[in-house]
Structure formats: structure tokens, C-alpha cells
């Protein structure tokens, strides 16, 4: 008889332990799932006309081109030229889960970063593009700009005369 009671107690204890363990695992899974947001809600409203990029393209460009140029350090024509050069290199595909960030927006955020040195977090709050995303596409955009502008604007001297000319211009700058 005493062995039966002990066996029942062990069985009850094991069942309780299994139930508690399962409950803990379920809570842990729910907690982990809660943190796995694709995007914060306020960031998802980027395409609803909120944020600096909308103001830049819809208001400043139309109403105050001088302020537009001051913001990006390029006028719209210069931006269009640069965008035409790098667009294919920085454009991504839309997926069924989300739309990609337009190449124009990526270029504008990159130019603002280069012009001001703002932090990625500050740019996130202004543009509604997450700072991690910004930190990934800014180097891509910069590489595309260098790749496209290098042949015409960043020529390396090849001959002794070219080196002499480059050195002469460098010494004049000092």
C-alpha cells in the first residue's frame, strides 16, 4: 500500500512538472513571437504621406526649390542625373510581404546623411525608415555612386604627365 501512494505521488509530481514546463515553454514562445515584429507600426505609415521624404518631394520641390537644394545639397536636375546613373544598382524587388524602398528615397537619405552626418537613428525618425535598413543601404548607394562617377570624375593618372599635372594641381590647392 505505501508503494502505491509513493507511485501516485511520483506520477502526480511528474504530471505537474510536465504541465509547468509546457506552460513555461509556451510563455517563452509567445514572448519571442511578440518581439519579432517586421516593422513598428509608426514606421509602416511611411507611405501614407508622412515623414520628411514626402515633405521634401511633395512640398519643398514644388514650392521652394532653394530649400530643396539646401536640404540635399543638389537641385532636382542634379538629383535626377545621379538617380539615373545609380537606379539600377540600388533598386530592389518588391515581395509579397512588403514594398521595397524606392531608389529615389534611398538616394535622398544617403545624400542627407553625407551632407549632414546625421545619425541613422535621427534619419529613422525623420524618414520612417528603420535605422538598420538605412545602415544597410547607405553603403550600397555610396558604392553605386563611386562606381558610376569614377570613370568620368575620379580618374587615376596613368602617365607621368598625368601624375605631374595632378601633383601640380594638388600643390596649388595647398
Above 80 in pLDDT, residue 135? yes
* pLDDT of 152: 87
Could you read off the pLDDT of 24-53 as tens digits, one per residue? 888 887 776 655 555 566 555 556 666 788
Q: How many CB atoms lie within 10 A of CB 104?
A: 16
Weakest mean pLDDT among 79-83, 124-128, 153-157: 153-157
The average pLDDT across 98-119 equals: 93
Residue recorded with cell 509547468: 20
CA distance 101 to 94: 9
For the chain, what are the domain ranges?
Answer: 45-172
| Residue 69 pLDDT exceeds 90 | yes
Q: Give pTM, 2 decimals.
A: 0.68
Average pLDDT over residues 92-99: 81
Of residues 144 and 19, the one with the higher pLDDT is: 144
Q: What is the pLDDT of residue 110?
A: 97
3-state secondary structure 6-32: HHHHHHHHHHHHHHHHHHHHHHHHHHH
Specify the pLDDT at position 48. Answer: 62
Q: Of 134, 117, 145, whose CA–CA distance to 53 is shortest?
A: 134
Checking 93-98 for CB contacts under 8 A at 24+ apart, the result is: 97/38, 98/38, 98/39
Amino acid at each position: 500500500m505505501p508503494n502505491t501512494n509513493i507511485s501516485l505521488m511520483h506520477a502526480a509530481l511528474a504530471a505537474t512538472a510536465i504541465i509547468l514546463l509546457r506552460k513555461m515553454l509556451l510563455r517563452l514562445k509567445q514572448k519571442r513571437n511578440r518581439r519579432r515584429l517586421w516593422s513598428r507600426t509608426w514606421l509602416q505609415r511611411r507611405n501614407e504621406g508622412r515623414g520628411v521624404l514626402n515633405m521634401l518631394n511633395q512640398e519643398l520641390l514644388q514650392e521652394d526649390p532653394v530649400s530643396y537644394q539646401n536640404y540635399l545639397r543638389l537641385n532636382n536636375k542634379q538629383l535626377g542625373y545621379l538617380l539615373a546613373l545609380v537606379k539600377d544598382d540600388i533598386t530592389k524587388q518588391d515581395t509579397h510581404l512588403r514594398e521595397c524602398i524606392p531608389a529615389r528615397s534611398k538616394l535622398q537619405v544617403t545624400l542627407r546623411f553625407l551632407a549632414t552626418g546625421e545619425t541613422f537613428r535621427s534619419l529613422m525618425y525623420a524618414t520612417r525608415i528603420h535605422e538598420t535598413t538605412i545602415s544597410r543601404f547607405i553603403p550600397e548607394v555610396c558604392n553605386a555612386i563611386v562606381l558610376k562617377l569614377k570613370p568620368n570624375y575620379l580618374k587615376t593618372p596613368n602617365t607621368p604627365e598625368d601624375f605631374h599635372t595632378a601633383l601640380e594641381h594638388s600643390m596649388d590647392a595647398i
